[in-house]
Amino acid sequence: MAEKYVVCSAFYLYLGWRLGIDNKPITTNYRRIKINNLEKKLRYQFKNKSILKLSLSHRSYANENKSGDNEVLEFLGDSILGMVVGHMLVEKYPKMNEGQLSLERAKLVSQTSLANLARSINLDKHVLLGNGERNNGGAKKDSILADTFEALIAAIYKDSNFETVQKIINLIFKL
């Protein structure tokens, strides 16, 4: 009889998860597996998983779960990306003038470009969204993906150091 109860409970937890109802119990192991996949794509393993979770937490998720969001990390990640990509361009194209370098950097760190990079590492599968945003296709929106990508870059920086995040950005951008 106890086995029947466990199977039924697991089914209802799964059903609730599929419907977006009280998904905390069922997503723990599932989320851990997904996070491991993200870390493999990045070729970086977080020492502090809470900074990773924060980087993936959209404002809508934070509001529903009474937790922090990724907006300050997004701000920091934007600056880190600008600097590292600028450095990469100067190294690769030493004869380009400042105007050309600025245009090239702007293209590389544009919302569309960052969203495409986010998709290339399956970040759309990891972003934490509130129910309303998730139901409106938030994980596919360029703005959310680009912002989350920037926050993820800052989380790597805060979890490690500048040299490590620079190597990861170089690998992702493949310039």
Q: What letter would DSSP give residue 125?
A: G
DSSP element (H, E) containing 109? none
- Catalytic machinery residues: 78, 150
Q: Do the Cβ atoms of 45 and 117 come closer than 8 Å?
A: no
Residues in CB range of 117: below 8 A, 6 or more apart:
149, 172, 173
Closest CA to 78 of 108, 54, 50, 52: 108
User: Residue 109's CB: how many other CB atoms inside 10 A?
Assistant: 20
Beta bridge partner(s), residue 57: 128
101 vs 69: CA distance, rounded Å: 33
3-state secondary structure of 78: helix
